Structure 1
Amino acid sequence: MTSHQTTQTMKPATAAKKLGVYLEATPAEFQEGVVSRTELNALQADPPQWLQDLRRTGPHPRPVVAAKLGISIAGLARGGVTEALTTDQI
C-alpha cells in the first residue's frame, strides 16, 4: 500500500484571512486561484511587495482594524464601521 499525499489547498478568502489582509485588495491572480499550504507558507516567510504594502497601509479587514484599535469586532459594528479601513483612516 503506497502513501498518496495530496496537496492541501484553500480558497483565496481563507488564505487572505490567514495572511491578515482584505481579499478585495489583493491582486486578481490571488483572488481567482487556489492557494496551497506551501504557497501560503512562502507568502508568510517572504511576503511579496503587494502583501507588504497591504499589511502596512491597508485596507485592513475588520479583525485587523479591531485589533489595531484595541476593541472587539462587535464594538466596530456598534460604532457603525462595516467596511475595511486603511491605516490612515484608523
Structure 2
Amino acid sequence: MVVGLMVFGRMALAGTGGEEFDPIWQSLQGWMQGTLGRVVAGAMILVGLVGGVVRQSIMAFATGVGGGVGLYNSPTVIESIMSATIHPAFV
C-alpha cells in the first residue's frame, strides 16, 4: 500500500492557501529586511563586538554576526521552504 501511494502519489504543494495572512507576512518581511531589520542586525553585531571585547573572545562577535545575518536572511529562507514543491517520481 505504501509503495502504491509513493508511485501514484500526486504533486504536493507547500504553503498553499491562507491569503488572508499575506499582509501580515509582508509587514514582517518588510520589518526584517528593511530599516528596522538593519538596525536590529547592526545592534546584534555591536553587542556581540562589545561582548567579545569584554570576554576577550571572538565567539561573542561571531554569534552577533550570525544572529544579524540570520535575522536579515530568514524571510528568504522561509519563502524557499514554504514554496517548495515535490514532484512525483513517475510522471
Report TM bin, short chain. Answer: under 0.3
What is the TM-score when the length of structure 2 is the normalising length? 0.23
Structure holding more helix per residue: 2
What is the TM-score when the length of structure 1 is the normalising length? 0.23
